Structure 1
């Protein structure tokens, strides 16, 4: 190895070591569920630790009953895990090979074990009117997206925010 290459390698060592010093702080990165308007404004921001879940709920536009698509944070990714549908109304139904259908005991059904990763850990939604009332539901919170952005497109995403390294 030439002495100039060795010298330049030694010059990079302090920079590399300071980058590595950030790794433990970055490991504490927080993951959030976010709803973004088209202009990038954050409409909803909710901590979403590994293993936690949420549902997107709405009232079916024809039949009016509530429908749920439920997701979970799994190993840094957004995964559709189950869906609740109170009946086989327009646009609803179980697709063979995509989860398994079980009764909810009240005339409707759950599609369980869908376990479908959401591409890019985000999806677009055109939020419905207050009659449709798209809602984001977590264990601790229910937010009406229709009150925030009726008739507007939004992006729902699972987003890692690196922890800020302390000096």
Structure 2
């Protein structure tokens, strides 16, 4: 075999290895799990929607207090497979608010930073009076309309990109 033919063979072999490496890397990337925030009907398990999230994605449950009629915002951060409550904002004290907690005033609202409230799932009963909305990053979802005012379960799960692409 000539020196030129040998170099061509080595070059083709290296090119083949490079193509194989790209195919394998692409396949690995396609099966890497991603995290999604899932909202499903609590009784039936029917998935209402799912949206990709990363660590520290902000998830805010915003609603009007059923008795006080004042706005409430429960703020969570995605941490691994959990929702960690980082903040609660409310405009007036009423039933269900942390009366004994360390609360500050910011921009006219009461603000509470709870200690280590970690949830693997969150159940919410959306209602017309409360007008529950879920903010995930920059997106807003009307929980009342999406759930038909039925109780929902909110949680984080892993799924591969291939699972995401298939119905």
Q: Same fold (TM over 0.5)?
A: yes
| Residue equivalent to 1:59 | 64
Q: Distance in 2 between matches of 1:158 and 1:93?
A: 26
1:128-139 matches, cutoff 5 A? 128=127, 130-139=128-137
Tell me the C-alpha RMSD between the 2 structures.
2.5
Q: Pick one of 121, 141, 153 that aligns with 2:151.
A: 153
> Is the 1:94–1:111 contact (alpha carbons within 8 Å) kept by the matching residues of 2?
no
Q: 1:91: Cα distance to partner?
A: 2.2
Q: 1:26 to 1:51 in 2, by over 3 A?
A: farther
Could you tell me the TM-score, scaled by structure 1's length? Answer: 0.71
Q: Distance in 2 between matches of 1:140 and 1:33?
A: 14
Could you tell me the TM-score, scaled by structure 2's length? Answer: 0.71
| Larger gyration radius, structure 1 or structure 2 | 2
For structure 1, which runs of at least 5 residues remain unmatched after alignment? 1-23
> Is the 1:102–1:112 contact (alpha carbons within 8 Å) kept by the matching residues of 2?
no
Ranges of 4+ aligned residues in structure 1 off by more than 4 Å: 24-27
Q: Distance in 1 between matches of 2:49 and 2:99?
A: 30
Q: Distance in 2 between matches of 1:104 and 1:114?
A: 19
For structure 2, which runs of at least 5 residues remain unmatched after alignment? 1-27
> Is the 2:82–2:155 contact (alpha carbons within 8 Å) kept by the matching residues of 1?
no
Q: 1:50: Cα distance to partner?
A: 1.2
Q: Is it true that 1:34 corresponds to 2:38 in the alignment?
A: yes
